[in-house]
Amino acid sequence: MTLIEDIWRLNFSPEPDLHPLYPTTTHIASLLSPHSGLSSVQRAKLVAHSLTRVCIFGELSVLQYLVSDPQAQPHVDLGIRDEDGLGLITLVIHGFGADSDRDVEREECVRLLIAQGADMGADKGDAKVLHLIQFISDACFKLGGLLYTMLPSCHHQH
């Protein structure tokens, strides 16, 4: 073989993005399709990264997709931890702080993760996930009661 033939055989096409900043079902589905050419290791990396990102963003629909899709499901590990040692449930909960318009979706993400058997053990630093869930649940309940008493549109006239 000549050098020119070797150069023509090189594949310069870019690698697929296995670490999308904001994973979507469309992007994940296209990469998990049998025709994508991804190896099992690449699929596992994509699913693990996507799981942590959707938990951070509180993306319920993408989380539901990942735990139920036949192509993704074999690669789902609900016991994974991020680089800081935080589990999926804690990642969802940490998002409650500033983005209050996503609280309902985040709560549903926690419920889905628990129902699917996600690890509820202590995260790095011994923060107990169940304690965090209880704290957030209590805070949401109190906030809901406060809003109910403050907003006249919540009171039904009979």
pTM of the model: 0.72
Length of the chain: 158
**What is the reported pLDDT for 119?**
81
Residue 121 has pLDDT above 50, yes or no: yes
Number of helices and strands (H, E) in the chain?
7, 0
- What superfamily does domain 18-154 belong to in CATH? Ankyrin repeat-containing domain (1.25.40.20)
List Cβ neighbours of 56 (8 Å cut-off, separation of 6 or more): 91, 92, 94, 95
**What is the reported pLDDT for 16?**
87
Q: pLDDT of 123-154, one tens digit each?
A: 665 455 555 666 666 666 655 555 555 555 55
Domains of the chain, residue spans: 18-154
Q: Would you state the structure tokens that stand for residue 4, as one six-digit string?
A: 């020119």
- Residue matched to tokens 């594949």: 11
Q: pLDDT of 19-62, one tens digit each?
A: 999 999 999 999 999 999 999 999 999 999 999 999 999 999 99
Confirm if 59 and 92 have CB atoms less than 8 A apart: no
